[in-house]
Amino acid sequence: MSPSPVLTAIQAYNDLCTPQMAADTWGVLEAGMRAGNLTFGERLLCTVLRPQFVSVEGWEHASRVSSTLVKAFDKAYLAMLGNRALRSQIWLTPDEETLISYEAGLRLPVPIGRLDCSFVLSTSGEGRTLPDIHLLEYNAESPAAVAYEDGLAELFFQTPLMRAFQWRFPVRPLWARPAALQTTLRIYRDWGGRDLPTIAIVDWPSVPTYSEFVLFQEYFARHGINAIIVDPHDMDYRDGVLYASGTPVDFVYKRVLTHELLEEFGVEHPVIYAVRDRAVCMMNRFSCKFLHKKASLAVLSDERNAHLFTAEELKTIHAHIPWTRRVEERKTLLDGETVDLIPFIHANKHRLVLKPNDAYGGRGVILGWDVSDDDWQHAIEVALVEPHVVQLAVALGREDFPAVQDDGSVEIESRLVDLDPFMFDGSYAGGCLTRLSRGGLLNVTAGGGTTVPTMVVAV
């Protein structure tokens, strides 16, 4: 049985990684990341010497799956806008309900989202089998890494390793910033904006992704758009105008998470007032919280909501969203059989994951197989009090990467790998975040991961 073509390309790339080639490549990457704001807090974004490679067919498959799933999420979104009982399945807080009321009449899908997926390459080239993809989370509120991934792709093309690899394999990057810009301008025009917007990029100055805001500020400036990076504390709303550090703005690129804004200010904040009065255009809107919560995957995969979706959408949901349920006392279906949910969770920790409904960065995620029986029991008790979902575990892909060690040497290491397409206007997959990890959580925020650009390789 012959190996898959992508695995052949990966092996060819890794074979090029001689000690001198590795040292020269790391020199380019390290200097470029430090000079180019490609950092996550104090950490360099990338500590390996190879991008993730996906075949043309593999990326087309990922794009089709992503587009169908986003259409299903958009249906759930629209249904929840008009049905408070359905919204109750995602545990909105009273303050979140207030914010949603300010957006009454606006029927917007998620303008920029990110589907965080497991990604397992076929090990066989027979029939050019497509990769196995499962959605683990939908980052629908303020997805990071669009500018990071483009910056890393530009940098990798300057390395000796990539230049040598391209003599044998044609490679193209998956650019995301152009689509983000076009989406921004479309939303602004639909809102009624003329000329070019003045943008406020809103988040806390202490977040580790601050350097990406700088990258967006520079990118917007190259297209004639003024963008101000602003702390939510440094905003004001008066006489129908929103101000960011004293500058009037008419577009909010909201990177601060809604629940963090509410924790700090309640519903008394200038951005909230401006959105209420339709005085600014905002991306992504507060109602995107519907789909950002982990329970949105339960809304799609739960049999009681099947009537919301077409047969094609249900087929894609069942194939690519792991079985996910709110943690609560109830009976439900699993593989056509009725199960009593809480006893089932107790008895099957080896195949289940518990996730807080409204956390991010891997916070609070419990992998059943990684904890003791007592810790699992305690986690279930917490999940019955604080909103959680339970999810069937899926296989995670592993690939070999030349990895920089603490002493500066390079070793080929096996890393867990994911594939997280950026989705624009609810239909177009443009660009992709890829994270690697030695451990069980594929999350850079959790501290154990690294980021690489994803590139399509012709094989």
Going edge to edge, which strands form the sheet with 281-283?
226-230, 198-202, 251-254, 281-283
Span 276-295, pLDDT tens digits: 999 999 999 999 999 999 99
Q: Which pLDDT value is given to residue 125? A: 60
> Is the model's pLDDT at 253 over the cut of 70?
yes
What is the distance between the alpha carbons of residues 363 and 45, in angstroms, rounded to a whole number?
Answer: 20
The DSSP letter of residue 393 is -
Specify the pLDDT at position 442: 58
Q: Residue 459: is its pLDDT beyond 90?
A: no
Work out the angle at residue 452's Cα, subtended by the Cα atoms of residues 216 and 45, and round it to the nearest 5 degrees. 60
Q: What is the pLDDT of residue 129?
A: 76
Q: What is the mean pLDDT of residues 202-220?
A: 97
Distance separating alpha carbons of residues 192 and 99, to the nearest angstrom:
21
Q: Is residue 122 within 8 Å of residue 129, measured between CB atoms?
A: yes
Predicted confidence band at 444 (pLDDT cuts at 50, 70, 90)? very low
pLDDT of residue 446: 46
Per DSSP, the residues of 309-373 read S-HHHHHHHHHHS--EEESSS-EEEETTEEEEHHHHHHHTGGGEEEEETT--TTTT-EEGGGS-H
Contact 421, 62 (CB under 8 A): yes
Please tell me which residue, 204 or 126, carries the higher pLDDT value: 204
Which pLDDT value is given to residue 447?
Answer: 44
Q: What's the pLDDT score for residue 443?
A: 58
Q: What is the pLDDT of residue 165?
A: 97
> What value does the mean pLDDT take over residues 410-425?
94
The average pLDDT across 355-376 equals 90
Q: Name the amino acid, one letter, at 23.
A: A
For residue 118, count other CB atoms closer than 10 A to its CB: 22
Burial annotation 349-371 (CB, 10 A radius, 16+ → b, else e)? beebbbbbbbbbebebbbbbeee
User: Model confidence over 371-381: pLDDT tens digits?
Assistant: 999 999 999 99
Q: Which two tokens stand for residue 391?
A: 């999810």
Would you say residue 126 has pLDDT above 70? no
Query: What is the rounded (10 degree) CA torsion for 254, 138, 107, 244?
Result: 0
Task: Please list, in sequence order, all residues whose beta carbon lies within 8 angstroms of the beta carbon of residue 150, skipping any fewer than 6 positions away.
Answer: 173, 175, 176, 177, 431, 453
Q: Locate tokens 């989406």: which residue?
A: 183
User: Is the pTM of the predicted complex or chain greater than 0.85?
Assistant: yes
SS3 226: strand
Neighbours of 56 (CB within 10 A): 13
Looking at the predicted structure, is the pLDDT value of residue 3 above 90?
A: no
Residue 428: the pLDDT is 83
What local confidence, expressed as pLDDT, does residue 34 receive?
Answer: 97
Q: What is the mean pLDDT of the chain?
A: 93
**For residue 127, is pLDDT > 70?**
no
8 Å CB contact between 352 and 393:
yes
**Average confidence (pLDDT) over 392-400:** 94
In the structure, what pLDDT confidence band is assigned to residue 445 with cuts at 50, 70 and 90? low
Q: How confident is the model at residue 2 (pLDDT cuts 50, 70, 90)?
A: low
Nearest to 171 by CA among 157, 152, 150: 157
pLDDT of residue 440: 64
Q: In the prediction, which pLDDT does 245 show?
A: 98
Q: Report the alpha-carbon distance of residue 113 to residue 39 in Å, rounded.
A: 22
Q: What is the pLDDT of residues 54-95, one digit of tens each?
A: 999 999 999 999 999 999 999 999 999 889 899 999 999 999
